[in-house]
């Protein structure tokens, strides 16, 4: 088994540097000889060393990091040459910084092996590529066939400042510029960066917004630099916040740059600890924790004699919390309070401490809301959550009304409005807000449109959100006894298309209350036909409908089966082929994607513990629903096979086989760098749907089987 296990990047680096002992060296060489993936990585390491030899500066010593931290401990504050760099000579990192970055990043697999094939032939450049805040940047774009021969194009940009909050619905302040043809097949324009610029994400689209080039879902990015050519710490922080939900491997690279280029700041180290901890075995995690405690001790000693700014103090607090060091956390939180008593980290810690007492937590947030300048979205969200947890109807209404002007996405607006509908005193206001939101969904707003979405994407998403809003409103109205109004909302949801078991369940109850058993029976048949809906729930509903002959029940079920197929097939796309890909089994054997599909309807799941660990139960349920039939669940992860992953699967009772795409080639080719999505693959190996619910994907696979049986 030790020969089958892939060596870590650290082991490969040590093998390349001839630093392994004889036994481990022999096993590693035997593995590399029979493993194309590790052989490619060794080849890359060889080319990396060759590139390093060609650089005009010595390679950094192996104990560079310890020397840097020791220097900090002795009062030193710089790692770059003390003499100032030539003015505006920022196209390359200073030699020492380049060496540090190279040393810190060489061990990350994802920086090396992410294929660019998924981005197509399009390219985009910024000049200068390392701008300082407030600078004007020239943008050059060379399109693929998607956007070729347009009279002009639009670059859409989301800009973030160093202290921007974690992104919610959008990635930052919206800005756009027009790109004009340059006479050589490309397009150019200029982007004026604000003085508080830290990080930008961008896409290119046609002027109508119908076709979007989003770099295969990963977006083009630009970050702020200092005059010495290094990316600023604030830029790296914002890059991580954006990329953690778009491109997890790239988010890891941002963390590595943070602790490599800014080793005397705690933030990068604390993020590394959180980033790596999930996939580590207990003994590995313990070793990492010991290493981080030593780093923290050095930073703590160093900063005791210094005057850290608010960001540094907050970073030490986060690091202490990640390490579980209560004494250090208390110390740094007190220092942060003296610098900024209402810092968002202080608020978060205080709210967490009061989590067991929702009434006291809500009271604390109420005091914040009443303070000058603290009526923020964060305070609103926390206050609204704790008011609901405390089941304080008056507080719920109060926070809901406060939050409506602040909410920056549909979800929070919806939650606040539905909370108002639940109470007679505010029902009219809540209904008005819901209907205002429904009307707003049909409006075109380039500022609110997500970067990766075309206008058609927005229309489809708006239709789905509209359905959900009508169903939720119908459910709320039914709960307060407004039966006819509830049915009207549910009928409006059905009129927007799609298949929605929750709609049928709520309307079943409403129609029984109205005495319309025939209409209720139709919704019962829809739930009975749904391949995902609980059989136990169907049985309980069956006992509540009037007796019917077997023939009537069979006819009703057949009609519901046809409706299910028609509605779901209408939402499936024109079949498009999957890219070719090689995946690895747990033992390191290579299997082609086509071989794994085996002409079976498939739900293709991209899943990683670091992102979707809470979805384990859904994975198991989906596997159970598909087992025994002709469909299957194919679990693909960028995580390499490891003892840690095996232990996690055993502890989670997750018996699904996992296939590994450690270079992320398949994910890149499909542009799968955004929020969770599941691909529905037909027997011919073509993509038929991309959905955001695992149960919905299972439903689509079952419908494909109904279709194939009907065709046969």
How confident is the model over 280-308, as a mean pLDDT? Answer: 87
Compare 23 and 390 and report the one with higher pLDDT. 390
Q: How far apart are CA 262 and CA 69, in angstroms?
A: 10
Select from 223, 227, 285, 210 the least CA-distant residue to 254. Answer: 223
Among 45-49, 233-237, 582-586, the range scoring the smallest mean pLDDT is 45-49
Exposed/middle/buried for residue 478 (C-beta within 10 Å: 0-12, 13-18, 19+): buried
**Residue 670, pLDDT score:** 79
**Residue 262, pLDDT score:** 93
**Degrees, nearest 5: CA angle 155-158-164:** 165
How confident is the model over 141-159, as a mean pLDDT? Answer: 94
Total Cβ atoms within 10 A of residue 479: 12
Q: How far apart are CA 12 and CA 3, in angstroms?
A: 14
Q: Which residues contact 321 (CB under 8 A, 6 or more apart)?
A: 270, 329, 349
Q: Which residues contact 479 (CB under 8 A, 6 or more apart)?
A: 422
- Cis omega before residue 128 (within 30°)? yes
Instruction: Write down the residue that tokens 């109807």 correspond to.
Output: 393
Q: How far apart are CA 508 and CA 576, in angstroms?
A: 38
Total Cβ atoms within 10 A of residue 446: 13
Q: Is the dihedral of CA 506, 509, 511, 516 positive or negative?
A: positive
Total Cβ atoms within 10 A of residue 507: 28
Is 32 inside any structural domain?
yes
Q: Is 484 in a helix, a strand, or coil?
A: helix
Is 686 inside any structural domain?
yes
Select from 254, 234, 230, 218 the least CA-distant residue to 105. Answer: 254
Select from 263, 244, 253, 237 the least CA-distant residue to 163. Answer: 237
Is the pLDDT at 97 greater than 70, yes or no? no
Cβ atoms of residues 65 and 272 within 8 Å:
no
Is 665 inside any structural domain?
yes
Is 16 inside any structural domain?
yes
**Residue 169, pLDDT score:** 65
pLDDT digits (tens, 9 = 90+) for 503-528: 999 999 999 999 999 999 999 999 99
pLDDT digits (tens, 9 = 90+) for 627-661: 878 889 999 988 888 888 888 888 888 888 999 98
Rounding to the nearest 10 degrees, give the CA dihedral for residues 311, 279, 638, 122.
10
Containing structural domain, residue 611: 576-711
Two structure tokens written together for 279: 């996939």
Query: Burial code of 158-181, b = ≥16 C-beta within 10 A, e = fewer?
Result: bbbbbebeebeebbbbbbbbebee
Phi, psi angles (nearest 5°) of residue 608: -140, 135
**Residue 172, pLDDT score:** 86
**Residue 555, pLDDT score:** 95
CATH at 590: 3.40.30.10
Cβ atoms of residues 427 and 480 within 8 Å:
yes
Q: How far apart are CA 324 and CA 414, in angstroms?
A: 37
pLDDT digits (tens, 9 = 90+) for 103-142: 443 333 222 223 333 334 699 999 999 999 999 999 999 9
**Degrees, nearest 5: CA angle 455-569-608:** 70
Is 61 inside any structural domain?
yes
Among 194-198, 359-363, 583-587, 704-708, the range scoring the smallest mean pLDDT is 704-708
Give strand pairing partners of 637: 660
Q: How far apart are CA 298 and CA 309, in angstroms?
A: 18
Overall residue count recorded for the chain in this entry? 712
Q: Is 291 in a helix, a strand, or coil?
A: helix
Q: What is the mean pLDDT of the chain?
A: 81
- Greatest mean pLDDT among 321-335, 348-362, 411-425 lies in 321-335
Q: How far apart are CA 326 and CA 312, in angstroms?
A: 18
Compare 95 and 640 and report the one with higher pLDDT. 640
Q: Is 177 in a helix, a strand, or coil?
A: strand
Two structure tokens written together for 256: 């590595």
Cβ atoms of residues 509 and 478 within 8 Å:
yes
Compare 591 and 69 and report the one with higher pLDDT. 591
Is the pLDDT at 260 greater than 80, yes or no? yes
Q: How far apart are CA 211 and CA 143, in angstroms?
A: 12
Helices (H) then strands (E): counts for the chain: 30, 16
Is the pLDDT at 572 greater than 60, yes or no? yes
pLDDT band at 89 (very low <50, low <70, confident <90, very high): very low
Is the pLDDT at 226 greater than 90, yes or no? yes
**Residue 92, pLDDT score:** 38
Q: How far apart are CA 189 and CA 211, in angstroms?
A: 19
Is the pLDDT at 318 greater than 60, yes or no? yes
Select from 282, 361, 369, 272 the least CA-distant residue to 322. Answer: 272
Is the pLDDT at 60 greater than 70, yes or no? no
If you write DSSP's letter for every residue of 499-516 in order, what string do you get?
Answer: --HHHHHHHHHHHHHHT-
How confident is the model over 256-285, as a mean pLDDT? Answer: 85
Total Cβ atoms within 10 A of residue 588: 19
Please give the DSSP secondary-structure letter assigned to residue 613: G
Alpha helix locations (H) across 55-94? Answer: 64-73
**Residue 91, pLDDT score:** 37
pLDDT digits (tens, 9 = 90+) for 466-501: 888 899 899 989 988 999 999 999 999 999 989 999
Is the pLDDT at 56 greater than 80, yes or no? no
Two structure tokens written together for 151: 């009279």
**Residue 629, pLDDT score:** 80
Is 410 inside any structural domain?
no
Is 296 inside any structural domain?
no
Cβ atoms of residues 205 and 152 within 8 Å:
no
Q: How far apart are CA 139 and CA 191, in angstroms?
A: 7
Q: Is 308 in a helix, a strand, or coil?
A: coil
Q: Which residues contact 559 (CB under 8 A, 6 or more apart)?
A: 525
Q: How far apart are CA 689 and CA 694, in angstroms?
A: 12
**Residue 75, pLDDT score:** 54
pLDDT digits (tens, 9 = 90+) for 523-544: 999 999 999 999 999 999 999 9
Reported as type and span, the H/E element at residue 474 is helix 455-479
Cβ atoms of residues 315 and 322 within 8 Å:
no
Q: Is 633 in a helix, a strand, or coil?
A: strand
Is 30 inside any structural domain?
yes
């Amino acid at each position: 088994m030790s020969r089958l296990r892939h060596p870590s990047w650290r082991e490969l680096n040590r093998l390349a540097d001839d630093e392994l002992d004889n036994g481990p060296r022999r096993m590693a060489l035997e593995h590399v000889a029979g493993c194309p993936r590790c052989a490619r990585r060794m080849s890359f390491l060889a080319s990396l060393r060759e590139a390093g030899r060609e650089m005009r500066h010595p390679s950094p010593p192996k104990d560079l990091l310890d020397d840097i931290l020791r220097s900090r401990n002795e009062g030193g504050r710089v790692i770059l040459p003390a003499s100032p760099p030539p003015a505006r000579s920022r196209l390359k990192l200073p030699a020492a910084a380049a060496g540090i970055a190279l040393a810190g990043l060489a061990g990350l697999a994802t920086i090396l092996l992410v294929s660019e094939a998924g981005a197509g032939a399009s390219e985009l450049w910024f000049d200068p590529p390392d701008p300082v805040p407030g600078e004007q940047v020239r943008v050059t774009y060379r399109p693929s066939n998607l956007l070729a021969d347009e009279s002009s194009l639009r670059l859409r940009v989301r800009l973030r400042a160093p202290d921007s909050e974690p992104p919610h619905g959008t990635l930052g302040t919206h800005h756009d510029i027009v790109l004009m043809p340059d006479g050589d097949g490309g397009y150019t324009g200029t982007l004026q960066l604000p003085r508080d610029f830290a990080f930008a994400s961008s896409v290119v689209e046609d002027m109508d917004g119908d076709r979007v080039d989003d770099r295969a879902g990963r977006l083009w990015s630009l970050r702020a630099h200092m005059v010495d050519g290094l990316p600023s710490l604030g830029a790296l922080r914002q890059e991580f916040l954006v990329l953690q939900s778009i491109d997890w491997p790239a988010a890891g690279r941002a963390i590595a740059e943070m602790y490599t280029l800014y080793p005397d700041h705690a933030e990068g180290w604390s993020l590394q600890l959180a980033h790596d901890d999930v996939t580590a075995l207990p003994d590995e995690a313990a070793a990492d924790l010991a290493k981080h405690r030593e780093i923290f001790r050095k930073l703590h000693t160093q900063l005791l004699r210094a005057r850290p700014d608010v960001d540094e103090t907050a970073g030490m607090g986060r690091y202490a919390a990640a390490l579980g060091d209560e004494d250090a956390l208390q110390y740094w939180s007190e220092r942060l309070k003296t610098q900024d008593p209402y810092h968002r980290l202080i608020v978060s810690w205080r709210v967490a401490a009061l989590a067991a007492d929702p009434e006291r937590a809500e009271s604390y947030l109420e005091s914040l809301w009443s303070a000058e300048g603290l009526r923020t979205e964060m305070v609103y969200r926390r206050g609204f959550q704790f008011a609901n947890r405390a089941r304080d109807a008056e507080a719920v209404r109060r926070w809901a009304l406060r939050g409506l002007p602040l909410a920056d996405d549909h979800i929070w607006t919806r939650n606040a409005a539905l909370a108002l509908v639940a109470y007679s005193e505010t029902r009219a206001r809540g209904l008005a807000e819901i209907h205002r939101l429904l009307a707003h969904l049909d409006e075109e707003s380039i500022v609110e449109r997500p970067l990766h979405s075309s206008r058609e994407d927005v229309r489809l998403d708006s239709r789905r959100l509209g359905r959900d809003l009508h169903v939720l409103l119908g459910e709320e109205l039914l709960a307060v006894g407004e039966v006819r109004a509830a049915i009207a909302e549910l009928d409006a949801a059905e009129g927007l298309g799609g298949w929605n078991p929750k709609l049928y369940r709520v309307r079943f109850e409403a129609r029984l209350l109205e005495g319309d058993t025939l209409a209720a029976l139709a919704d019962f048949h829809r739930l009975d036909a749904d391949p995902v809906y609980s059989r136990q729930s169907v049985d309980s509903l069956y006992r509540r409908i009037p007796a019917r002959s077997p023939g009537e029940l069979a006819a009703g079920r057949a009609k519901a089966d046809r409706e299910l197929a028609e509605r779901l097939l209408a939402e499936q796309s024109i079949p498009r082929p999957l890219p070719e890909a090689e995946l690895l089994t747990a033992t390191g054997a290579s299997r082609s994607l086509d071989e794994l599909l085996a002409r079976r309807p498939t739900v293709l799941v991209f899943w990683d513990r670091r992102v979707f660990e809470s979805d384990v139960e859904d994975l198991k349920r989906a596997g159970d629903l598909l087992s025994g039939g002709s469909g299957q669940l194919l679990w693909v992860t960028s995580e390499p096979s490891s003892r840690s992953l095996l232990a996690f699967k055993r502890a989670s009772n997750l018996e699904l086989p996992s296939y590994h795409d450690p270079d992320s080639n398949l994910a890149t080719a499909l542009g799968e760098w955004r929020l969770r999505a599941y691909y529905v693959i037909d027997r011919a190996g073509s993509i038929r749907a991309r959905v955001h619910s695992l149960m919905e994907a299972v439903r689509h696979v079952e419908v494909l089987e109904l279709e194939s049986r009907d065709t046969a």
